[in-house]
Structure 1
């Protein structure tokens, strides 16, 4: 027989009279708990916690400016000279109060006028229009409960206006007009360029030009050894320059690895970096790491609103490991170096938990400890680095703090080496994209870039097609079986290299036999062969060379190569020029004995590739040299120089179609000489995937 539970009426107990356990569960009792006081607490809590502080501040600014603007213009408006359909409304004394907290019958017209003034008269953009509209919509929604929410209309029963003026048809028409204006033909397109790994490497190379590796290595050694005397002897100019470089690298590599937005990183504090003092991370230890907690991550407040039990306890926490194979993106190295520089050079003490990791720094190198770096300062660094590194950008393209988020996500998802790419689920978690977030965001970050790559047919005339649309980034090219043509081409290269090797062996044998018999050798001293076994040259296919067998009886029965008048040995079928082979050195010598400027060296390279220059010893244009002229001993003499000239000349003629202005814009290194230009061309070809670096 079940027991019946006794019912009893609950008695409301004042918090001060409640048990300790109940007091711990609820709010702390206050002195005055009357209903008006609680109502004030409610309103204050709504203002404080309903929106983020930055959102509240921006909305209040829009509302204040709108109210001041209307009062000024309403007091000076006169409709005597021109008649409009709203002239009666403008003469109404209540029109000047149309943007106040309690709207009236003119509020929709006043807001439409303010939007038109800001976006059509002052020519502001879409973001200004959206900000003003959102600010006044929230402002009126919170004015009097549910009175000013929904469609703006006149209530015939109550004889009053209800709904939100920001939702009126007149305001919506103005917003649509502003949107059409922004998207109209001829409008400048702006696009945040993804900061690729290649761009990060170019910026690091530019930094090494300003501060050589020895400077960074010496600085690291001084900081780790605690050499205060050496760090104190740094000049103000050098200290300021090194501080800016190291701080920029720490910021950019962190943003590239964690895919942060600017505000998420500039407010990062030392307490959000977990570094165990008993196990200080070592750069040499690949398993060492430190942990970063992004307390300002977008969407984190939503997860907290669900309660700590609902939120992922590891969310927003990222472990950073060394990445020595990509030094331009090694957040582990640059972050630890920056913290050491901050503590031992600027603060002379440890960074406090509430100190910003990236504090504000003035132009004279003084660090302001209690103030975080501004967005404008970070943007100035990005502009300086991308311009100094000579990174090209198209019309409307720009590098912003958002470029690191785009570049890091795209690298991990589709541009990293095979076997190191991340799944879409990991990309979503690492970038803190919510599972129910609009999928257009990920499509814009990842799939659009991939689609652009796969649908790019600009290299349709290339003899070797990449077929990027056949698989993810054209990876099927790496695993497909070799065809007969590939095998024949490989056999030709191998045969040519074997013929070169046998030729060199014959020269060595002939020289050895001649010296042993006391006869002078007719061959020139053998030049040391380069490390690279074979060089592939554009435009010319390798000529098949029959194998020359060395009989067992000795070298006397081998086929002797011919020697021209210049003493150069000829192993091919095409005769050499009468005056021999030569590739002019750079910079070239002019008729008066002086040398041409370095900035014109690239022009001579292109000229010598397409035209002969007998006055400087080039009797045949370089592009017309047959492959046999670059074999045997000639390969060691001219091979490397020929290959370098071919890279620069073909980059100008084929990649940029001989357009000098575009070529100079893409390679400002031309003014520094052909050596700097060659390095820049190699980096560009590596970024385009045309050169595969050795591992």
Structure 2
């Protein structure tokens, strides 16, 4: 009920808006037409669809002329093939369809001498044409024995497929690889240093120097393709399709000056404004064309040839190809930027998901294409390192390229082997040092009463008075506790602060017994172990049994201070 003088309250619209009321139901043909229009508009890029249509139109026109040329004066076919069936082979799928396609590709590649890329384009176009126009589905081409009809897609015919694969192999083996090497950070640093030197020596102009630094830093940081970078303007770069453009926030990065895209771009744009004598407008190209004199051609974007010429100049200037054979194209900055963010950036490495977004790789790409593309971009150098065999004849070649990343630890042994090797070295050093010290200990037992004259040596008997000794020459010296005395070939042994430390050290095994056969010859470690055991018994007897008391020790083993072997036997007998 509406009161007089009061306007009715309007109904709130639903969140989804008012639904469209349809009084009739469309036919399947109408729905299918809408579906086809949507597929044509969005399933493939417009340029790809146009290329496919061009190949099909060209194929139909050529096959009609070829079929006409096969007819004789009486209108009958002069060839083994039915000319009338060949003429409509692309309009009506039959057993003649793959033969017609085969003949068309032979003519384009063998007679006109087009490359394999032309054959690949024709195959892709007709595969799409047969699949969506004639509904030829399936990755096969065969004759149904029951119905007598041909089934599948004609591009999978055996004769045609064999010829296409042969063209592919010929192209792969005979053509030069167009794959570009990545431009790495260290090479850009050298390139910019060369640009600074060349500018100061008047080999290049200031404009060329700043132009190149800005172009390289943008291409490396944003992973731009050459045509994307050369068409950059001071305003919006994609006004026709703004939804397909990206906005990038580029910070100032003073930690790596040669990769500071912000600084190089600002320096160049300021210089460009000075050369133009007015602030940059939205339609002004950031990279205008460069004349041979180094001056700018305002209003014209720089071309591919000019960028390629500059790249060749700087690559040659730093002699990059001399140390890194290969090929550098304008795509090298995109590859290098991707590898930098994924593998080499010291602060933060990107995830694979972020790399795919930044690179613009579509998630709808086939698995094979995606893996191949990402491997070529991100892991090209790693693959070359791990699968390369250029150093097979070198004696220093590492056969474990696939174990660690870029061979970071290829020159090292495993942790256990390293520890075992170090322990073995320590044991041998200690044994040598102890043998020297034992000789010094034995020599310190020389009695003060002994007089040695030519032809006469006085030996002490069992009942002789105790040997005199000097405190300044203790049995256990500082060298015995810690470091061996300096001298030719002497090396430091493990440091010990107390007698207890050295006692525990002698009791322990630095090298596990199971590792001994790997590092010692049986004769070597047996003899060294025997020597070590004898030394250990003498030292332990002196410390543990007699509390380091020299007089007590001499009383129990009289006359044996200069007879090491007899001393060991006497200690073993007790």
2:381 corresponds to which residue? 449
Shift of 1:112: 1.4
Shift of 1:134: 0.8
The secondary structure found in structure 2 opposite 1:382 is: helix
1:166 corresponds to which residue? 155
Is contact 1:194-1:403 (8 Å) kept?
yes
2:334 corresponds to which residue? 405
1:323 corresponds to which residue? 253
1:203 corresponds to which residue? 191
1:59 corresponds to which residue? 52
Query: Which whole-Å CA distance do the structure 1 matches of 2:56 and 2:210 have between them?
Result: 41
Is contact 1:193-1:403 (8 Å) kept?
yes
Shift of 1:51: 1.8
- Given the superposition, is the C-alpha separation of residues 420 and 106 from structure 1 closer, same or farther in structure 2, using an over 3 Å criterion? same
Query: Which whole-Å CA distance do the structure 2 matches of 1:473 and 1:294 have between them?
Result: 44
Gaps of 5+ in 1: 1-18, 216-237, 274-292, 302-314, 485-543, 545-695
Is contact 1:266-1:373 (8 Å) kept?
yes
Q: C-alpha deviations, 1:613-635, integer Å up to 9, x for none?
A: xxxxxxxxxxxxxxxxxxxxxxx
Shift of 1:92: 0.9
- Given the superposition, is the C-alpha separation of residues 446 and 395 from structure 1 closer, same or farther in structure 2, using an over 3 Å criterion? closer
- Given the superposition, is the C-alpha separation of residues 378 and 122 from structure 1 closer, same or farther in structure 2, using an over 3 Å criterion? farther
The secondary structure found in structure 2 opposite 1:450 is: helix
2:165 corresponds to which residue? 176
Shift of 1:136: 1.9
Query: Which whole-Å CA distance do the structure 2 matches of 1:60 and 1:360 have between them?
Result: 35
Query: Which whole-Å CA distance do the structure 2 matches of 1:351 and 1:163 have between them?
Result: 57
2:131 corresponds to which residue? 141
Structure 1 counterpart of 2:104, from 114, 119, 123: 114
- Given the superposition, is the C-alpha separation of residues 462 and 271 from structure 1 closer, same or farther in structure 2, using an over 3 Å criterion? farther
Residue-pair matches, total: 398
Superposition TM-score, scaled by structure 1 size: 0.45
Query: Which whole-Å CA distance do the structure 2 matches of 1:113 and 1:211 have between them?
Result: 58
Gaps of 5+ in 2: 1-11, 423-487, 489-574
Is contact 1:102-1:140 (8 Å) kept?
no
Structure 1 counterpart of 2:220, from 256, 261, 264: 256
Correspondence 1:66-85 to 2 at 5 A: 66-77=59-70
2:533 corresponds to which residue? none
Correspondence 1:656-667 to 2 at 5 A: none
Shift of 1:130: 1.8
The yes-or-no answer on 1:366 pairing with 2:297 is yes
The secondary structure found in structure 2 opposite 1:366 is: strand
Q: C-alpha deviations, 1:115-153, integer Å up to 9, x for none?
A: 223334444444332222112222333325x36776445
1:382 corresponds to which residue? 311
Structure 1 counterpart of 2:265, from 317, 320, 335: 335
Shift of 1:408: 2.2
Please identify, of 335-344 and 200-209, the stretch whose mean Cα deviation from structure 2 is larger: 335-344
- Given the superposition, is the C-alpha separation of residues 52 and 266 from structure 1 closer, same or farther in structure 2, using an over 3 Å criterion? farther
The secondary structure found in structure 2 opposite 1:182 is: helix
Q: C-alpha deviations, 1:149-202, integer Å up to 9, x for none?
A: 764456799887665332333332222111222344x65445421212232233
Indicate the RMSD between aligned Cα atoms, in angstroms: 5.6
Shift of 1:398: 1.7
The secondary structure found in structure 1 opposite 2:320 is: coil
- Given the superposition, is the C-alpha separation of residues 334 and 128 from structure 1 closer, same or farther in structure 2, using an over 3 Å criterion? farther
The secondary structure found in structure 2 opposite 1:322 is: coil
Query: Which whole-Å CA distance do the structure 1 matches of 2:255 and 2:169 have between them?
Result: 48
Structure 2 counterpart of 1:92, from 83, 86, 94: 83
Query: Which whole-Å CA distance do the structure 1 matches of 2:356 and 2:273 have between them?
Result: 35
Correspondence 1:668-679 to 2 at 5 A: none
- Given the superposition, is the C-alpha separation of residues 252 and 59 from structure 1 closer, same or farther in structure 2, using an over 3 Å criterion? farther
Structure 1 counterpart of 2:320, from 391, 402, 424: 391
- Given the superposition, is the C-alpha separation of residues 46 and 412 from structure 1 closer, same or farther in structure 2, using an over 3 Å criterion? closer
